[in-house]
Chain A
Amino acid sequence: MTQAVEDSNRRLLRARDAMDLTYGGPLDIPTLARIAFVSEAHFIRAFRATFGETPHRYLQRRRVERALYLLRCTDRSITDICFDVGFASLGTFSKTFHLIVGESPSEYRRRGEVIALPTCFAMAWTRPSSFGEDGRATRG
């Protein structure tokens, strides 16, 4: 039983790592399910049971985390950043960004540059934790 949980965790972690690596592309559930050795139908449920959120939501937070970085540390345009991090339309990007961060990309950009963190820390700690369900922005 425990062994099965550990194997499942590790396979889903492998799929999650793949999402973090390829966040710029579309969410590819069939490929991720293959990495995790589960059926497509089971993948989303198993991911959620293991990591507490759906793959889509996890990926959106990764994309916004990357957008936060690019907004503050590069001078790429907001439109370029939107597509760089994997959003398919500027409308979805702006809406998702505002929902999560509580302000628009251009407002956020005015906060200025941040220090460079090793990628794993930036990914884990600067990834916004909510979609604004609690009614306020989750980043200070």
Chain B
Amino acid sequence: MLSGLRISQIYVLDQDQAVDFYVGKLGLEINTDQDLGFMRFLTVNVPGDPERQILLEKPGPPAMDPATADEVRSLLTKGRTGGHLFFTTADARKAYEELRAKGGVEFTQEPTEQPYGIDFGLRDPFGNHIRVAQMASAAS
């Protein structure tokens, strides 16, 4: 029936800042950046994987009323909107060192051996949680 997962979404407080982080720091590519008038439709993807996009959505009107948007922003900055992104990499320790060298990245965990591979954790500037894993079973 279903054949893939094309777009998933996380909330961000500021889309320019989101581009700085997701493209500038994490090295993702902008897939679509279009001003639709009622919203800026902004998606990014891992280089070489444009079939799987992340929508970086700013909470607010007209999608939600201002009071609800306040609640979403409050939860987001507490790290509790459920925004989780799990990326994979060929070399977790190298990826960690590269990100650390760039500076301005908040790590929540250093590279750690797990039964499923090696991974580390970080937060985006808004409160979303990100993990980067080198999976034990696969090459990437």
Give the interface of A toward B (CB within 8 A).
Answer: 2, 5-7, 9-10, 12-14, 16-17, 20-21, 50-51, 116, 118-120
Across the interface, name the chain B residue whose C-beta is closest to A12: B78
Interface residues contributed by chain B, number (CB under 8 Å): 26
Q: Given A14-B106, A118-B86, A119-B114, is A6 in contact with B77 using a C-beta cutoff of 8 Å?
A: yes
User: Which residues in B have some Cβ–Cβ distance to A below 8 Å?
Assistant: 13, 70, 73-74, 76-79, 84, 86, 106-109, 112, 114-116, 119, 121, 123, 126-127, 129, 131, 133
Given A6-B74, A12-B78, A119-B114, 18 additional A-B pairs, CB 8 A: A6-B13, A9-B74, A10-B126, A13-B79, A14-B123, A17-B79, A17-B106, A17-B108, A20-B108, A21-B108, A51-B78, A116-B115, A118-B131, A119-B109, A119-B119, A119-B121, A120-B129, A120-B131
Q: For B133, what are the chain A residues with a Cβ–Cβ distance below 8 Å?
A: 118
Interface of A is mostly: helix
A-B contact count (CB 8 A): 57
- Name, among A5, A6, A16, A51, the residue most crowded by chain B CB atoms within 10 Å (CB to CB): A6
